[in-house]
Amino acid sequence: MTRLNLSLACWAYDRTEALQTGAVRPDGIDLNFQALEVEETFFRMAKFQEFDVSEMSMSSYCVTLARDNPPFIAIPVFPSRFFRHSCIFVSAKSGIERPADLVGKRIGVPEYQMTAPVWIRGILQDEYGVDPSSVTYVTGGEESPGRDEKLKLDLPDKFRVEPVGPTQTLTRMLADGGIDALHTARAPSTFYSEPDKVRRLFPDFVDVEKAYYAKTGIFPIMHVVAIRREVYEQNRWIAQALYKAFVEAQQQTYEQLKVSASLKTMLPWQIAMVEDTIATMGSNWWPYGVEPNRAVIETFTRYHHEQGLSGRRLTVEEMFAPETFAEFVI
């Protein structure tokens, strides 16, 4: 029987391992799984549409939906989720001690449209009253110079965004005081190499993030799985086939993380962490699917619109393949 060959670019997560090894095979599909760093995957998919299917920044995906002919359609699989309070770094020279001190400051972001900074700006606005338009954003490479926005943006004038110089990096600028703070996905190298110059805004971030989850019920979504629209339109059945496979692969990981005979990861207290997570967030703490995530997605689309990245607030229904909104019942 002929199977459809599809390329899939995605980082080598525990929750996608079974797809990478072939232990889980989507119905009717042979996957060419390419385990790439997320920045490479995003760049190649957003710029050149190199893959049939790929992990994609949720913000970048939302930006593409505003185009006349949107190039991608997503399925409600979220390979990356992350509480981002831990990803706000401040320069020791800035005098910043609390969120309100960010107002009027110069804040680095590798790209304004990155998903992590969208969530950070939104959380700072909702929880601490920091208006996203009250600061100046400085964009550029975090560790290496020369990074640009992957997608062209058309922001309202109230948002002040300026690029760094051609040889500058945000990591170095943060340590030297050239920027006051950094909203990012990756911890800057100077946080570890020069801890006297760079620190977290929330040093007790685990407690802060648990309190945020208890209040809001939000576990922020960072990435979706996007299909090139022309591939999807030629074979509409692949949306459900891929969705089912991702769910099955994730379910294997859920079970493996509970095994105490031999630890799946190198975390010494893995079992305690799993049990604590279940007690805090429930047994399906990393849900896929539309309905379990509707409130999280709607919060993100509000932030995306309020921050000038989408001309109107996107609906959940236009973001995902309709075949993934319901499942058959016997």
Per DSSP, the residues of 17-84 read HHHHHTSS--TTEEEEEE---HHHHHHHHHHH---SEEEEEHHHHHHHTTSSS--EEEES--S-B---
Which has the closest alpha carbon to 221: 286, 282, 283? 286
pLDDT value at position 327? 82
pLDDT value at position 167? 95
pLDDT value at position 1? 66
Give, in order, the Cα–Cα distances in Å from 148 to each of 43, 107, 172.
Answer: 10, 16, 17
DSSP bridge partners of 241 = none
pLDDT value at position 152? 82
Running DSSP on this structure, what letter comes out for residue 141? -
Distance of alpha carbon 264 from alpha carbon 285, whole angstroms: 18
Q: Are strands 160-163 and 136-139 parallel, antiparallel or unpaired?
A: parallel
Mean pLDDT per block of 10 residues along the chain (330 residues) reads 93 98 98 97 96 98 93 98 98 97 98 97 98 97 92 91 95 98 97 98 98 98 98 97 98 97 97 97 98 98 97 96 90
| Edge-to-edge strand list for the sheet holding 223-228 | 29-34, 4-9, 53-57, 223-228, 72-75
